[in-house]
């Protein structure tokens, strides 16, 4: 299930984030890559232990913790603090599947990467190339979203970032362990949630809407792992 979520950040938030990213000190992205990924990863990343990385990560976690669209899509149990990357000058990241397990920095807590997310800080007309290519059961999809928009997709997906041949592509990426482990179950819950939201806007009979809402929560109760 691939879901795009628009306008996660407003214009003021985007401006502040871009300013911080443009002034930050970056390092070779291969420092965080595994042995096999090092040969296909050519980008820059913010070091995890810098003040700007921590502050922006905390800011995004606060925003996403209040964002109903992200919560409905990911059904988050716990999140790995967001990371930040920069592609330019032909930078790319070849086909790969993300690590299944990460340790939350500064803790002994481990997190399963059920859901992958990319939040764009650059508009499509600011750079050439740089598409996020995601391959899943629904085929190959090319993602290049406006700044402030976000894509959520299963962590099991094979994906890559196409070479950025002109300009600079800034983005944040992170992983979520969902309350619902399996992507097909999250997809059904997402579709049911969206139908309930649309019916609520149409002032559908309250009893039927309550019945559907009850089905949603009973399925979540059945499938959740908390």
Annotated binding site for 2-oxoglutarate: 169
Three-state SS sequence of the chain: CCEEECCCCCHHHHHHHHHHHHHCCCEEHHHHCCCCHHHCEECEECCCCCHHHHHHHHHHHHHHHCCHHHHHHHCEEEECCCEEEEEECCCEEEEECCCCEEECCCCCCEEECCEEEEEECCCHHHEEECCEEEEECCEEEEECCCCCCEEEEECCCEEEECCEEEEEEEEEEEEEEECCCCHHHHHHHHHHHHHHHHHHHCCCCHHHHHHHHHHHHHHHHHHCCC
**CA-to-CA distance for 174 and 57, rounded, in angstroms?**
10
What residues are designated binding site?
96, 98, 159, 169
**Helix orientation angle between 51-65 and 11-23, rounded to the nearest 10 degrees:** 160
**CA-to-CA distance for 126 and 166, rounded, in angstroms?**
8
What residues are designated binding site for Fe cation?
96, 98, 159
């Amino acid at each position: 299930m691939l879901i795009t979520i628009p306008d996660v950040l407003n214009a003021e938030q985007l401006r502040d984030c871009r300013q911080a990213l443009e002034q930050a000190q970056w390092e070779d992205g291969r420092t965080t890559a595994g042995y096999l990924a090092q040969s296909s990863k050519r980008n820059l990343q913010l070091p995890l232990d810098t003040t700007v990385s921590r502050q922006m990560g905390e800011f995004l976690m606060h925003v996403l913790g209040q964002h109903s669209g992200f919560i409905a899509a990911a059904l988050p149990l716990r999140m790995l603090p967001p990371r930040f990357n920069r592609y330019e000058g032909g930078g790319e990241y070849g086909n790969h599947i993300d690590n299944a397990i990460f340790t939350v920095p500064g803790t002994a807590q481990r997190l399963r990467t059920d859901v992958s997310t990319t939040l764009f800080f650059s508009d499509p007309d600011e750079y050439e190339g740089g598409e996020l290519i995601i391959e899943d059961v629904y085929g190959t999809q090319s993602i290049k979203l406006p700044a402030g928009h976000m894509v959520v997709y299963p962590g099991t997906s094979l994906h890559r970032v196409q070479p950025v041949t002109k300009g600079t592509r800034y983005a944040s990426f992170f992983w979520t362990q969902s309350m619902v482990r399996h992507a097909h179950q999250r997809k059904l819950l997402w579709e049911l949630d969206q139908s309930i939201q649309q019916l609520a806007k149409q002032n559908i009979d309250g009893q039927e809407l309550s019945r559907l809402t009850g089905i949603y929560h009973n399925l979540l109760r059945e499938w959740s792992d908390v």
